[in-house]
Amino acid sequence: MSTRDSYDEIAGTYAERFLDELSGKPLDRALLDLLITQVDGRGTIADIGCGPGHVARYLHDRGAPALGIDLSSRMIEIAAAAHPGIGFHTGDMRDLHVPDQAWGGIVALYSIIHVPPAEIPAAFTEFHRVLKPGAPLLLSFHLGDEVRHLDEMWDHPVSLDFQFYLRPEIETALESAGFAIDAYVERRHYDHEVETTRAYLMAHRP
Ligand SMILES: C[S@@+](CC[C@H](N)C(=O)[O-])C[C@H]1O[C@@H](n2cnc3c(N)ncnc32)[C@H](O)[C@@H]1O
């Protein structure tokens, strides 16, 4: 079972659990507000691995043009139904079918966690290619050096690898792809979250 099939399988439950989650995530909201400031009118912000679209919706509601991209077509259907007026499209961060310098910013929260280390350079090279000069990128991931595998999630069959990353791995890969690193933040999990340390990285295309 692929990552795409797994997220198709759990998309409905994921949306029920997470569509409203930003209301309880003040640091995420603050970082998204900062992202909008740093985009500074350069263009659309792409939410990559958007799931049910709540992050794109947050950006849109604050006046920032936004769209969502996700591997799972079921996630995209749910996002499009929940947030009319925002564009949602199926796609893969390792091979984005958009022109060079198409976007003014990228946010990818907990989506590189499904990209294995060997494929991270392809994803970051794509992020760099599709961003305008000066455009920012905000990433989040689970901090560590393990891979957690799940065969079942919320009573649904899945086959999902959750790849944890260390800060230097991600920073080095971003710099190799041409990004300049701007900021790094860690936080503990909230009570309702899985018990992992959360890492956030901001970078930009020089
Ligand atoms: C843990 S969810 C995070 C969803 C949302 N960003 C959030 O913060 O709630 C991971 C999402 O990334 C998507 N995804 C995984 N691999 C991807 C890839 N290569 N390209 C685009 N999306 C991907 C999955 O389909 C899933 O919707």
Instruction: Calculate mean pLDDT across residues 122-144.
Output: 98
Q: Report how far ligand 1's centroid is from the alpha carbon of 100 (Å).
A: 22
Q: Which pLDDT belongs to residue 191?
A: 87
- For the stretch 27-65, pLDDT in tens is 999 999 999 999 999 999 999 999 999 999 999 999 999
Calpha distance 202→35 (Å, rounded): 8
What percent of the chain lies above the pLDDT cut of 90? 98
Q: Report how far ligand 1's centroid is from the alpha carbon of 159 (Å).
A: 14
Q: Helices 73-82 and 3-18 meet at what angle, rounded to 10? A: 30
Write down the mean pLDDT value for the chain.
Answer: 97
What percent of the chain lies above the pLDDT cut of 70? 100
Instruction: Calculate mean pLDDT across residues 117-143.
Output: 98
**Choice from 29, 31, 114, 196 to test ligand 1 binding pocket (greatest atom count within 8 A of CB):** 114
**H-helix segments, the chain:** 3-18, 26-39, 54-61, 73-82, 120-130, 167-176
Instruction: Calculate mean pLDDT across residues 159-183.
Output: 98
Instruction: Calculate mean pLDDT across residues 140-155.
Output: 96
Q: Which tokens in the block code for residue 32? A: 């998204």
Calpha distance 30→199 (Å, rounded): 14
Cβ of residue 71 lying under 6 Å from some atom of ligand 1:
yes
Cβ of residue 8 lying under 6 Å from some atom of ligand 1:
no
Cα distances (angstroms) measured from residue 194 to each of 39, 191, 197, 198: 31, 8, 9, 10
For residues 44 and 103, the answer to whether their CB atoms sit within 8 Å is yes
Sort 125 into a burial class: Cβ within 10 Å, 0-12 / 13-18 / 19+. Answer: middle
Q: Report how far ligand 1's centroid is from the alpha carbon of 200 (Å).
A: 16
- Statement: residue 192 has pLDDT above 90: no
Calpha distance 36→168 (Å, rounded): 25
**Choice from 20, 23, 71, 89 to test ligand 1 binding pocket (greatest atom count within 8 A of CB):** 71
| Max Cα-Cα span within the chain | 45
Q: Which tokens in the block code for residue 119? A: 């494929």
SS3 30: helix
Residue showing tokens 């679209």:
53
Ligand 1 atom nearest to CA at 6: 25
| Number of Cα atoms under 13 Å in the Cβ half of residue 47 | 26
* Structural domains of the chain sorted by starting position, each given as residue range(s) with its CATH number in brackets: 3-169 (3.40.50.150)
- For the stretch 73-99, pLDDT in tens is 999 999 999 999 999 999 999 999 999
Cα distances (angstroms) measured from residue 100 to each of 62, 69, 131, 184: 26, 16, 7, 27
- For the stretch 113-124, pLDDT in tens is 999 999 999 999
Residue nearest to atom 22 of ligand 1 (CA): 49
Per-residue confidence at 160, pLDDT binned at 50, 70, 90? very high
Q: What is the DSSP letter of 191?
A: T
Q: Which pLDDT belongs to residue 34?
A: 98
**What residues contact 153, with CB distance under 8 A and at least 6 apart?**
6, 10, 160
Predicted structure pTM score? 0.96
Calpha distance 180→202 (Å, rounded): 9
